[in-house]
Amino acid sequence: MSATITRVSIVTETFAPEINGVANTLSQLVCGLRQRGIEVQVIRPRQAGDSKATSDDWHTVTLPGLPIPGYQELRFGLPWQGRVRAAIQAFRPQAIYVATEGPMGWVAVKAAKRLAIPVVSGFHTNFHQYIEHYRLGAFERLAYAYLRRFHNRTQATLVPTRAQRDELEQHGFERVQVLSRGVDSQRFHPDKRDGSLRRQWQVKDDDIVLLYVGRIAGEKNLQLAVRTFEQLKTLDEAVKLVLVGDGPELPALQEKHSDIITCGMQTGDDLSRHFASGDVFLFPSKTDTFGNVVTEAMASGLAVVSFDYAAAHEHIRHGDNGLVAPFGDDDSFIHQASLLSDSPNLLRQIRQRARQHAEGISWGSIVEDFIQRLAQASHEVHVHADEQKRRPKNRSSVPQSGSL
Provide the whole-model pTM: 0.88
- Please, where in the chain does CATH 3.40.50.2000 lie? 7-182+362-384, 190-358
Helix (H, G, I), strand (E, B) or coil at 380: helix
Residue 255 burial (10 A CB sphere; 0-12, 13-18, 19+): exposed
What is the rounded distance in angstroms from the CA atom of residue 212 to the CA atom of residue 278?
A: 9
Reported as type and span, the H/E element at residue 21 is helix 21-35
Q: Assign residue 208 a region: left if phi > 0, alpha if psi is -120 to 50, beta otherwise? A: beta
The CATH label, of 3.90.550.10, 1.10.287.10, 3.40.50.2000, 3.40.50.300, for the domain at 7-182+362-384 is 3.40.50.2000
Which of 113, 110, 91, 109 shows the shortest CA–CA distance to 99? 109
Q: 10 Å Cβ neighbour count for 201? A: 15
pLDDT in tens, the chain (404 residues): 457 899 999 999 989 888 888 999 999 999 999 999 999 999 999 886 676 544 445 689 998 877 666 565 666 677 788 999 999 999 999 999 999 998 899 999 999 999 999 999 999 866 545 445 444 455 667 888 899 999 999 999 999 999 999 999 999 999 999 999 999 999 999 999 999 999 999 999 899 999 999 999 988 999 999 999 999 999 898 999 999 999 999 999 999 999 999 999 999 999 999 999 999 999 999 989 899 999 999 999 999 999 999 999 999 999 999 999 999 999 999 999 999 999 999 999 999 999 999 999 999 999 999 999 999 999 887 666 556 666 666 544 444 444 32
Kind of pairing, strands 280-283 and 303-307? parallel
DSSP 265-277: ---HHHHHHHHHT
The CATH label, of 3.30.420.40, 3.50.50.60, 3.40.50.970, 3.40.50.2000, for the domain at 190-358 is 3.40.50.2000
The dihedral sign for the CA sequence 163, 164, 168, 169: negative
